Amino acid sequence: MTDLGFVHRFLQGRDNESPVLLLLHGTGGDENDLIPLGRELLPGARILSLRGNVLENGRPRFFRRLAEGVFDLEDLKRRTDELARFVESARRQYRLEESRLIAIGYSNGANIAASLILRCPQHLSAAVLFRAMVPFTPDAVLDLGGIPIFLSAGKSDSIIPAENTRRLSDIFETGGARVSIHWHNGGHELGPDDVDAARQWIAQQSFVPDR
């Protein structure tokens, strides 16, 4: 589907009680990439999975970068607002007005989700961010309303130093977010422990119904 400003897929779930998973892939991925991960993290949930609108040498991303880990901040701002507008339109289109949205992002997708939380926190009920980094340093952190955020970071990630993960966590906590960090014994790639830890964390959130 290419309407609403993003190529995306919306997949119905087993029920309409569960939150909706907003899936945001890493550089070079697409809207199909994270669907198996979403299914594992919260079986039966509805899924809204996007493809980034920016191409870097033909590889989809959610915003432009000047170099690895160095972001085009003007573009990041514009693309974050574009994502916020998509979320609003998709809620209407798919009748999700009453549903909670959990962002599940990996790498570049986790970074735009972090940016969305810092710029427009009202759009998400929770976020699972695999290999996220500080997307931009806010002048002042908005009230994040106690949003639960799960960060999963690689201890030897060559792109994201551990200090950057801690700084992101501190920024979120300054806004009142409830942050949990899982440290994976490895680098930027995900391991089974990342997925297990995220699944357990999601299951513990009060708004996720028991199965």
Which residues have a catalytic role annotated?
Answer: 107, 157, 188
Which of 18, 111, 152, 169 is close enough to bind ligand MLT by CB under 6 A? 111
Q: Applying CB under 6 A, does 97 fall inside the site for ligand MLT?
A: no
Q: DSSP assignment, residue 149? A: E
Partners of 96 in the β-ladder: none
Q: Applying CB under 6 A, does 57 fall inside the site for ligand MLT?
A: no
| Greatest C-alpha distance within the chain | 45
Q: Applying CB under 6 A, does 159 fall inside the site for ligand MLT?
A: yes
Q: Applying CB under 6 A, does 107 fall inside the site for ligand MLT?
A: yes
Return d(Cα 151, Cα 132) in angstroms, integer: 7
Q: Applying CB under 6 A, does 108 fall inside the site for ligand MLT?
A: yes
Across the chain, the runs of DSSP E, i.e. the strands, are: 8-11, 20-24, 46-50, 54-56, 59-61, 65-67, 70-71, 101-106, 126-130, 148-154, 178-184
Q: Are 121 and 113 in contact (CB under 8 A)?
A: no
Q: CA gyration radius for the chain? A: 16
* Part in contact with ligand MLT (CB under 6 A); list of ranges 65-73, 80-88, 150-158, 170-178: 65-73
* Part in contact with ligand MLT (CB under 6 A); list of ranges 41-49, 107-115, 121-129, 143-151: 107-115
End-to-end CA distance of the chain: 31
* Part in contact with ligand MLT (CB under 6 A); list of ranges 7-15, 106-114, 149-157, 178-186: 106-114
The candidate with the shortest Cα–Cα distance to 82, out of 57, 65, 63, is 63
Q: Applying CB under 6 A, does 77 fall inside the site for ligand MLT?
A: no
Q: How far is the CB of 18 from ligand MLT (least distance, A)?
A: 28
Q: Applying CB under 6 A, does 161 fall inside the site for ligand MLT?
A: no
Cβ proximity to ligand MLT: between 29 and 148 the closer is: 29
Q: Applying CB under 6 A, does 27 fall inside the site for ligand MLT?
A: yes
- Positions touching ligand MLT (CB under 6 A) are 26-27, 65, 68-69, 107-108, 111, 159
